[in-house]
Structure 1
Amino acid sequence: MVKPNILIADDHPLLLKGLEGFLKEKKYNIIATCLDGLSAYNTIIKEKPDIAILDIEMPNMTGIDIAKNCKRYDIKTKIILNTLHKEKKMFENAVKFNIHGYLLKEFALTEIESCIASVCEGKPYFSEKIFKRFSHSSDENTNIESLTRSEIKILKLIADEMTSSEVADFLSISVRTVEKHRANIIKKLNLDQKPNSLLIWSQKNKEALL
């Protein structure tokens, strides 16, 4: 597999250098490093890296701000956020903007390669510690039994990052029907009414849907 072009941004020089050195040693293509958010965002616009690994809290522009702008302006660079923060609110705020990865810095070096590989395959990657802390517990998998075959089929497609329009086209049904199914699934699984809640849940429980 061709290695992706990667930008790294962190306002802590030692952490930035450490991650850069680790990835270069693993033969990844690091095309730029930045010490603040605005420089990172400008470089993303100019260089168009495949992946940007960003600290959440940086001067001038946060990693979440960058993710928000990339979503707003349909910038194709895939965002991986790397953070020391374990607050649920921070995580929920980040996933609103279609981030592709969320890593805790204390585990970053052990998870970063799996994260990059997953993102390159088009699959979001969230640190295992984040899932255990914030996602619904595994005993709620029993709620899957309340789902219809059609709902499970739609959940599988959501896990593959299909939009409602793409699901509708794939299943030859209307978008309105897909949205109705999504609402029913959220209700049955007792999920929060928040963006990406189904994506996060379906990714975490993908094996249970097979």
Structure 2
Amino acid sequence: MNSTIIIADDHPIILKGLNDFLVENGYHVTGMAVNGREAIDLIRKEKPDIAILDIQMPYLTGIEVVEICRKENLPSKIIIITLEKDIDLYYKCKELSIYGYVLKEFALEELQNCISSVEKGKPYFSPELINYLKTEHKPEHLDELTPTEIEVLKHIALNKTAKEIGESMFISNRTVEKHKSNIIKKLDLEPIQNSLLIWVKENQKHIL
């Protein structure tokens, strides 16, 4: 028997297209939502096997809906559909144990494979996304950093403060700040607030 599914997207045409596609392929769609608030209410009420959520929705994003599901131990397996090929979003989905990540441009081509994989308990991430992330070039100047500076970057990627980095590396706050300053110069970043943090978030797959 095919899975029960709820779908959520704030674009009516996409929502109808998803519903028609799923119904035509024998899936049991038990509800549709046009925003994040409706989506979490449907998941609580219907307890579907699978919830297919758009990322950007009014009231609650797809990610915020997933976070609520995790807090409330709701068992539905989540598939995210999005236009975004984003490294931060990819890691966030991994962190939340999201089962599927499908790019909207390939949604109808990939959705059946994704659902089939998820039904077997296997995560499915769009091959186009994986290929895109793999082909991203290594950041310029990264090879110029010392092992200590790379370690500082790893701690920054884990959202640690200068004090926490100093304690982890057994160095003073002042030394941490000196390393950060040297890193900013080597990476040729603008000397503005949070420029290093932004760079780390954009390039963390090359650091961690």
Amino acid of the structure 2 residue aligned with 1:25: E
Deviations 1:111-150 (A, max 9, x none): 000100000000000000111122589xxxxxxxxxxxxx
Match of 2:54 in 1: 55
TM-score by length of 1: 0.63
In structure 2, relative to structure 1, the CA distance for the partners of 1:12 and 1:92 (3 Å cut) is same
- Aligned equivalents of 2:66, 2:94: Cα separation in 1: 9
Counterpart secondary structure, 2:131? helix
Give the C-alpha shift of residue 72 in structure 1: 2.1
Map 1:77-156; keep pairs closer than 5 Å: 77-135=76-134
Counterpart secondary structure, 1:27? coil
Give the count of matched residue pairs.
140
* CA RMSD, 1 decimal: 1.7
TM-score by length of 2: 0.64
The answer for unaligned runs of 5 or more in structure 1 is 138-189, 194-210
Map 1:1-210; keep pairs closer than 5 Å: 2-135=1-134, 193=208
Amino acid of the structure 2 residue aligned with 1:13: P
Give the C-alpha shift of residue 73 in structure 1: 2.0
Amino acid of the structure 2 residue aligned with 1:70: C
In structure 2, relative to structure 1, the CA distance for the partners of 1:76 and 1:191 (3 Å cut) is farther
In structure 2, relative to structure 1, the CA distance for the partners of 1:130 and 1:32 (3 Å cut) is same
- Aligned equivalents of 2:46, 2:5: Cα separation in 1: 10
- Aligned equivalents of 1:13, 1:110: Cα separation in 2: 19
Deviations 1:34-55 (A, max 9, x none): 0000100011011100000000
The answer for unaligned runs of 5 or more in structure 2 is 137-204
In structure 2, relative to structure 1, the CA distance for the partners of 1:131 and 1:40 (3 Å cut) is same
- Aligned equivalents of 2:58, 2:127: Cα separation in 1: 28
Give the C-alpha shift of residue 191 in structure 1: 7.6
Structure with max Cα Rg: 2
Amino acid of the structure 2 residue aligned with 1:121: K
Deviations 1:62-86 (A, max 9, x none): 1101111212222100000000111
Task: Give percent identity, aligned residues only.
Answer: 44
